[in-house]
Copies of this chain bind each other. A is one copy, B any other.
């Protein structure tokens, strides 16, 4: 056990609470009182444990990737490109419309457009979203080389198409679209997939 007075709160649980706040209100829209009251701690404890607002947000992003968004990594392990996309879209719709979570995707609505002070957070989320495109492109290139995708298909374009769908679904979910509505959109989108 470390020296000194022990922390009176569970840092992981507090991080989950912060995740919910950032998820719902975005980086700029989440104020420190919003965060501290949700986390059940006061400001100096937040700063001691997490650094500052931006550092807290970066930790929240990691937790998001390893928690609610972990289905993305799982989807990439599916045997065929089509199965990857199916898993991604259908599981994505589940997360985006999970009533226990805020609507939409943190990587989209965390800081899509913001003031100058939040610009490096915005750029970080751009990198996160672009990482999805890259991962998909790599997966589809492999699929193409395996004969799983037609020789005339364009993995980079397919990757961006799927990412565009995911982010569009996030906007839809954020606007209140229902789970079944988005499921039907996902099914429709799959008709564009090369056979």
- Residues of A with Cβ closer than 8 Å to B? 23-26, 28-31, 34, 102, 104, 108-110, 112-116, 118, 126, 129-130, 154, 157-158, 160-161, 163-172, 174-177, 181-182, 184-185, 188-192
A170 to B108 alpha-carbon distance, docked (Å): 11
> What are the residues of chain B within 8 A of A31 when measuring CB–CB?
115
The 7 closest A-B pairs by CB, nearest first: A168-B168, A164-B168, A192-B192, A26-B113, A29-B115, A109-B113, A167-B171
Q: Label chain A's interface by main secondary structure.
A: helix
Q: Which residue of B lies closest to A107 (CB)?
A: B171
Question: Nearest chain B CB to A109's CB is how many angstroms away?
Answer: 4
Interfacial chain B residues near A185, Cβ < 8 Å: 157, 160-161, 164
Query: How far apart are the CA atoms of A67 and B164 in the complex, in Å?
Result: 25
- Contacts A29-B115, A113-B174, A191-B191 known; 16 new A-B pairs at CB < 8 A: A23-B113, A26-B113, A30-B115, A108-B112, A109-B112, A109-B113, A112-B112, A160-B177, A160-B181, A160-B184, A161-B188, A163-B172, A164-B172, A167-B167, A168-B169, A191-B192
Q: Determine the residue in chain B with the shortest Cβ distance to A191.
A: B192
Kindly report which residue of chain B lies nearest to residue A157, judged by CB atoms.
Answer: B184
Q: Are B114 and A25 in contact (CB under 8 A)?
A: yes
Q: Which residues of B have CB within 8 Å of A104?
A: 112-113
Please tell me if the beta carbons of B188 and A189 are within 8 angstroms of each other in the complex.
Answer: no
